[in-house]
C-alpha cells in the first residue's frame, strides 16, 4: 500500500544583513593642546579591570603632565552613563577618558 503525502510549500524570507543607513560623520573634539593644569575626567563603565586600566593611564599621564582628576564610575556596564554624570564631566573637565574593561 502506498500513501502519498500532501505537497506543501513554505516560503522562506531571506534577509540581507547589510545596513542601509550610512554612518554619521562627527567632527573631532577640539584638542586641549596641553594637559598642564587641566582637569581630566576618567569614566569607568564598571566592568572587570577597567579601574586598573584607568589607574595605569592616569599614572602614565602624570609622568608628563600636572593635572587634576574627576573619577566617575557607572553603576552598570550595560547602561549608559546618566545625564547627571555626563553633565558633570562636561562642565568640570577639559578632557575625558572613557574606558571599558574585561
- Containing domain of residue 89, as a range? 39-99
SS (H, E, C) 14-53: CCCCCCCCCCCCCCCCCCCCCCCCCEEEEEECCCCCHHHH
Number of domains in the chain: 1
Cell of 41: 575626567
Inside any domain, residue 6: no
Helix (H, G, I), strand (E, B), or coil: what is residue 97? strand
pLDDT tens-digit profile of 19-28? 777 888 989 8
**29 lies in a domain?**
no
Residue 14 banded pLDDT, cuts 50, 70, 90: confident
In a domain, 13, yes or no: no
Inside any domain, residue 52:
yes
Q: Is 58 contained in some domain?
A: yes
The answer to whether the beta carbons of residues 68 and 36 sit under 8 Å apart is no
Contact 102, 47 (CB under 8 A): yes
Residue 1 lies inside a defined structural domain of this protein = no
- In the block, which residue shows the cell 554619521? 24
- The answer to whether position 22 is within a domain reads no
Per residue in 74-85, pLDDT tens? 988 889 999 999
13 has which bridge partners? none
The pTM of the full predicted model, rounded to 2 decimals, is: 0.69
Is residue 34 situated within a structural domain?
A: no
Tell me the CA distances in angstroms from 13 to 9, 16, 56, 77, 96, one per residue in order: 13, 10, 50, 35, 46
Please provide the average confidence, as pLDDT, over all residues in the chain.
88
Amino acid at each position: 500500500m502506498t500513501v502519498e503525502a500532501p505537497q506543501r510549500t513554505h516560503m522562506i524570507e531571506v534577509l540581507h544583513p547589510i545596513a542601509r543607513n550610512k554612518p554619521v560623520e562627527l567632527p573631532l573634539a577640539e584638542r586641549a593642546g596641553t594637559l598642564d593644569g587641566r582637569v581630566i575626567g576618567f569614566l569607568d563603565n564598571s566592568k572587570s579591570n577597567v579601574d586598573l586600566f584607568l589607574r595605569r593611564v592616569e599614572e602614565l599621564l602624570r609622568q608628563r603632565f600636572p593635572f587634576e582628576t574627576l573619577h566617575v564610575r557607572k553603576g552598570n556596564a550595560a547602561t549608559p552613563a546618566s545625564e547627571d554624570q555626563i553633565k558633570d564631566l562636561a562642565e568640570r573637565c577639559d578632557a575625558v577618558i572613557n574606558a571599558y574593561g574585561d
